[in-house]
A and B are shown apart, each in its own frame.
Chain A
Amino acid sequence: DGGITQSPKYLFRKEGQNVTLSCEQNLNHDAMYWYRQDPGQGLRLIYYSQIVNDFQKGDIAEGYSVSREKKESFPLTVTSAQKNPTAFYLCASTETGQYHEQYFGPGTRLTVT
């Protein structure tokens, strides 16, 4: 089955620890994206990558880092510098040439205490 997988579904960490969220897709999509969602708000773009070994900051990149070493993988690291890391994190990807029709994974809910 083709799709986007994010793991784990729920993640708990202590304040001051870095944590890496996984995003994998087997759709052969070129572009991948990371969003953050807070209650009652829309999605806000953290980072995006349109090609392997290249990525750009979104609107709220501070305190986050990414890598894109493989086409199918786009992991997101939430660093200790992120002031309010508790949120629902969504990964998305798009088909080549259809960069607006983003398809989302199931999300990871990160709780930092």
Chain B
Amino acid sequence: GQQLNQSPQSMFIQEGEDVSMNCTSSSIFNTWLWYKQDPGEGPVLLIALYKAGELTSNGRLTAQFGITRKDSFLNISASIPSDVGIYFCAGQLRGTSYGKLTFGQGTILTVHP
């Protein structure tokens, strides 16, 4: 199936630093979502984006729907230890069934106190 390229695969940062991660594709997406997953748990929805160019914040998290509709970015400001986890991007590829999402491989975030 269609792949989303999510990068970086992992990040090791100090508490207080800002974090950036992104997802790219060669195809156009209608919707982008960002999820966070703690070990052994289900992903939790962080931010949903529906329009090209849309910039949405949720606390210290900010995500953007790329203008070309082929990418999305997630930024975390002033990281804290509880930000540790795996962050996934997901999107609905144009032309696919409503509600059928494609997921990136995930970015593993480690925050050192």
On whether the beta carbons of A48 and B42 are closer than 8 Å, the reply is no
Please tell me if A65 contacts chain B, counting CB pairs below 8 Å: no
Q: Which of A31, A43, A100, A106 contacts B88 (CB 8 A)?
A: A43
Question: How many chain A residues touch the partner (CB < 8 A)?
Answer: 30
Complex Cα distance, B4 from A92, in Å, reads 20
**15 other A-B residue contacts (CB within 8 Å) besides A100-B101, A103-B45:** A6-B42, A31-B99, A42-B88, A42-B103, A42-B106, A43-B88, A43-B90, A48-B100, A50-B99, A94-B99, A100-B33, A102-B90, A102-B101, A104-B43, A106-B41
Q: A residues touching B (Cβ–Cβ < 8 Å)?
A: 4, 6, 31, 33, 35, 40-45, 48, 50, 56, 58-59, 88, 90, 92, 94, 99-107, 109
28 of the cross-chain contacts (CB-CB < 8 Å) are A4-B42, A6-B42, A31-B99, A33-B99, A40-B105, A41-B105, A42-B4, A42-B6, A42-B88, A42-B104, A43-B90, A44-B1, A45-B101, A48-B100, A58-B100, A59-B1, A92-B42, A94-B99, A99-B98, A100-B50, A100-B101, A101-B45, A102-B90, A104-B35, A104-B44, A105-B42, A106-B41, A107-B42
